[in-house]
Each structure stands twice: as structure tokens, then as C-alpha cells.
Amino acid sequence: MFSTFITASLALLSLFSFPQAQAAQINVVVGGTGGLKFNPQFVTANVGDKVVFSFRQKNHTATQSSLTNPCTKAPGGFDSGFVPVSATNTAGPFPAAAFTVKSTDPVWVFCAQAGHCSSGMVFAINPGPGQFDKFQAAAMGGTSAPSPTSAPAAAASSPAGSTDHKVIVGGTAGLVYSPNNIKAQPGDTVTFEFHQKNHTATQSTFANPCKSLTSTSTTGQVGFDSGFMPVAADATTFPTWTVRINDTTPIWVYCQQGNHCGQGMVLAVNSVDSGPNSFDAFVAKAKGTNGTSAGTAPTTAPTKNGASSWNRGLSNGLLLAVAGVIAGLTL
């Protein structure tokens, strides 16, 4: 699964000098002008290395599968969700997803966009001699993937019959997600529409409402994070960011900007209606904090609307992503 890289030192060991292996970052381009392919199509990686999927034009995923079922999401496997990139975005920044290699076992990946896997859009980490060709051949031989409807370049797609839950982030309503408590079914999507100033949609936990899941997980989970989405005060069009719901496990979300979370700017998907782990209890915990563990976005105002690149990933089959913070407005 996804994890963040944590370094530590011990005073005792500082008395000695040991050579240390350096983890590598391996960049993989997903889609774009290269067509329906991951580039490169497979890599060899060591434990601790980070594979960064850089998503390009149109709308693709990086979804874990298996050698025997190339175009079907593996139970418990990672899934970026759909990552739309506009055809007009040719210079970046590009959204990305990071996967940290936990073992040298093969990892099989495909794009879940309709028809892409069967066109050979697959990828592998440590496939072993000759195995990638078998994997790709199996993908192109008719093994069917879940079939979401095709999506335009700037919008994520959802399976037929699912519901997209639109959430307004910030804007004239203030420091709030509207709505902020959603009930969603597997296959539904949640689309965050970012309004004025500069906010995020960052996955956290009930226990730590104002800290990212990535920073608090003890099992290597990486929570999704839209990154900062700066929007000018006079904007009339707004950036959006979509995640797909794969199960009914509660999902907790907060805004990383300044003390927004501490002022109650949080959201839940599929929280219980009452009891100690209810949405109201989550809000109360958030307001009991003094802010977030993340830095505030820079204060330089953008000259036009724009979506930030992403600096986190996904857990529990939801959207993941990586990159820096875009300069924007603060409240």
C-alpha cells in the first residue's frame, strides 16, 4: 500500500558512520501525447523506492490489479480514481500519484477508463522476465475491467447508475463544505468545486481531524489530497476535483489552509448518524484543535483560476496524488 517516507536517527548510532542506501524516485507518465500507455510500461524497483505516476491529458487511473485479472481491481489494491487533465494543460503542473515499494513482489497496474486496459494500457513493477508481455497480452485478450462511462478531459467518469455528489468548497458561504455530511454508495463520486480564496480537500481520520491520513497512519496508508486550489475573488468558473467511492467505510476530510479545520471546515462521507463517531463529534474534535499540521499556502494571489497539483495519495480505494503547493489566496 501507499506510505510516506519517514527518516529517523538515534543518538547511539550517530557515533558511527554507516553507508546508507538511497531510495530512488521513478517517474511514470500516464497517457497524454504518448497515447494509451504508461511510459515506461514496467520498472524494476527496490524496497523503499517511490514510483510517481504523472497524469497527462484526458482522464486516466492507476489501479492495482493482478497477473491473472489484468483489467479488474485487486481486492484491497490501490486505486488513484480518475484523474482528469485538460487537453489545454500541456505545460503542467500535472497531478500525480505516488506509490512506495514495500517489497520486491510484482505489482500489476491498469487504467480503469473504459477500453483503455483492453487497449494495452497496463503497467508493472518488478514483473520478472517475460511476465509483463503475458500481463499485457492477457489485458488485450478480452479480460474485462469495470466499465465506467467514458469521460471528457476535464471531468471524471462514474459507473452507469451512480450518483455524483457536488460539494462547494469555501466561497461566499465561508469556511465550509456545502454540503458537509454525505451519504454515498459504492460507485458514487464526490466532486469538490473550489470557490474563492484557497482551500483543500484532504483526507484525515476521525481521531485526528486536522492532520492528513498520510501523516498519522501507522500502516502505510496515504490519504487523498487535492492540494491547494487558489481561486480569484472575481472568478466565474471554478476548478473541480473528483474522487470515487469504493465502499461505505466512513471518509473524513478537512481543509489544510491555516486554521480552517480548527474553525470547523470539515466533511464526512458515510459517517454514522449518532454516537461517539458521528459527524457532529468529528466537527467538535476539529474545533478542539488549534489548526493543522500542514503549512499555510503562500499569499501571492493568482492571476487566473487554477487547480493545484496534488501532494498526497489514496487509501481505501480512493483518489491519491502528489506534488507541490500552488501559490494562492489565504483567508
DSSP assignment of 166-190, as one string? EEEESGGG-S-EES-EE---TT-EE
Residue-averaged pLDDT of the chain: 77
* Amino acid 132: pLDDT: 93
**Is pLDDT at 155 greater than 70 in this prediction?**
no
CA distances from 99 to 23, 237, 259, 289 (A): 13, 32, 29, 30
Phi and psi torsions of 287, nearest 5°: -70, -20
Question: 183 and 275: one domain?
Answer: yes
Counting the structural domains of the chain, the total is 2
DSSP state letters, 66-98: -SSSTTSPPTT--B---EEE-TT--S----EEE
Query: Cβ(97)–Cβ(61) under 8 Å?
Result: no
Q: Are residues 95 and 40 part of one domain?
A: yes
Residues 182 and 270 in one domain: yes
302 found inside a domain: no
135 and 168 share a domain? Answer: no
Whether residue 241 has pLDDT greater than 50: yes
Q: Domain range spanning residue 182?
A: 164-287
Residue 313 in any domain: the answer is no
Distance from C-alpha of 225 to C-alpha of 57, rounded to nearest angstrom: 20
CA-wise closest residue to 177 among 200, 157, 155, 156: 200
Is the model more confident about 97 or about 106?
Answer: 106
From 105, 140, 175, the end of a domain falls on 140
The DSSP symbol for 302 reads P
**What predicted TM-score, i.e. pTM, was given to this entire model?**
0.49
pLDDT above 50: residue 209: yes
Please indicate whether residue 158 or residue 145 has the higher confidence score (pLDDT). Answer: 158
Q: Best-predicted range by mean pLDDT among 47-61, 266-280, 303-317? A: 266-280
Residue 262 inside a domain? The answer is yes
Domain boundary among 140, 174, 193: 140
Predicted local confidence at residue 303, as pLDDT: 28
Side chain identity at 255, as an amino acid letter?
C
CATH of the domain at 30: 2.60.40.420
Question: What pLDDT does 58 receive?
Answer: 87
- Do 32 and 86 lie in one domain? The reply is yes
- Tell me, yes or no, whether 293 lies in a domain: no
Helices (H), the chain: 131-140, 213-216, 279-287
The Cα 13–Cα 61 span in angstroms is 42
Instruction: Please report whether residue 17 resides in a domain.
Output: no
Judgement on whether residues 34 and 126 belong to the same structural domain of the protein: yes
| Stated length of the chain | 331
- Cα–Cα distance between 172 and 109 in angstroms, integer? 41
Q: Cell numbers for 73, please give them.
A: 481491481
